[in-house]
C-alpha cells in the first residue's frame, strides 16, 4: 500500500523543526528513522497532512558522557548506541536492551527518540528509561523543558509530548554504586515484538 498524500519538510535546526510543528500543530508528524511511522502511513492508520523529517538536524545526533551519566540525542540510531563504548561502560542495561531491538536492518535506521516518543508498550526503550530514571528534554515554542520518564509515558502510544514539541535529548543519570541490573524479554522468535519484558535496577544500601 501507499501512504496518503502529505507535505514534506526537512529542517536543519531544532528551532526550524519546532516552528514547523507550531505552524501545523496536530496535522504534523515528526519522522526520523520511520520504522514505526512508515508502516502506519502505508496501512493508512496514520494520515498526517505534514511530515517533518529531522534527519538533517545534526545537533540531535550524539552520544556523550555528562555528569557521570549519558546524554543521547533524539535521532541517534539504535546501532550507534549498540556499538558505543560509552554506553557499554556507563549504562550496560541500555546496551543490553538495544541489542534486543528487532534486527540489524531496523537498528541501523531506528532512533532512540522515535522509539520513546512512539511509546509502544512492546518496545524496549520506554521501560529502560523508566528503570534508569531517565530525563527527557523537550523543546517547544515556549522553550525547553525536562520531564522524568515516569511522567512522560501516560499510557500506550500516548506521551506528555505536545503536538508543537520535539523530543531532543535523553539524559540517563549515572548508576549509583553497588547497583545491579537485569533485562529480560520473551518473544516467539528473535526480532519479534516482545510478548513480555522487564528492565530492573537494584541498589544495595550501605548495610547490605
Q: What is the pLDDT of residues 154-178, one digit of tens each?
A: 999 999 999 999 999 999 999 999 9
Q: What is the pLDDT of residues 129-147, one digit of tens each?
A: 999 999 999 999 999 999 9
Q: What is the pLDDT of residues 109-132, one digit of tens each?
A: 999 999 999 999 999 999 999 999
* Mean pLDDT for the stretch of residues 99-116: 96
Tally of residues, the chain:
208
| Cell numbers found for residue 208 | 547490605
Is 90 exceeded by the pLDDT of residue 19? yes
- Sheet of 69-73: strand order equals 63-66, 69-73, 166-172, 135-140, 143-148
Amino acid at each position: 500500500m501507499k501512504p496518503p498524500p502529505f507535505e514534506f519538510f526537512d529542517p536543519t535546526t531544532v528551532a526550524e523543526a519546532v516552528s514547523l510543528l507550531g505552524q501545523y500543530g496536530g496535522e504534523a508528524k515528526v519522522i526520523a528513522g520511520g520504522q514505526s511511522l512508515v508502516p502506519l502511513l502505508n496501512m493508512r492508520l496514520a494520515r498526517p497532512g505534514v511530515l517533518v523529517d529531522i534527519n538533517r538536524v545534526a545537533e540531535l545526533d550524539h552520544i556523550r558522557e555528562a555528569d557521570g551519566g549519558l546524554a543521547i540525542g533524539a535521532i541517534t540510531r539504535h546501532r550507534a548506541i549498540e556499538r558505543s563504548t560509552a554506553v557499554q561502560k556507563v549504562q550496560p542495561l541500555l546496551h543490553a536492551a538495544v541489542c534486543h531491538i528487532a534486527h540489524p536492518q531496523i537498528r541501523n535506521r531506528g532512533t532512540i527518540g522515535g522509539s520513546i516518543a512512539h511509546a509502544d508498550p512492546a518496545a524496549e526503550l520506554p521501560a529502560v528509561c523508566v528503570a534508569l530514571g531517565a530525563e527527557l528534554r523537550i523543546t517547544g515554542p515556549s522553550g525547553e523543558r525536562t520531564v522524568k520518564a515516569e511522567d512522560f509515558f501516560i499510557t500506550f502510544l500516548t506521551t506528555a509530548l505536545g503536538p508543537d514539541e520535539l523530543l531532543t535529548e535523553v539524559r540517563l543519570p549515572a548508576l549509583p554504586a553497588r547497583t545491579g541490573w537485569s533485562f529480560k524479554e520473551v518473544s516467539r522468535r528473535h526480532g519479534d515484538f516482545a510478548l513480555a519484558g522487564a528492565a530492573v535496577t537494584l541498589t544495595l544500601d550501605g548495610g547490605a
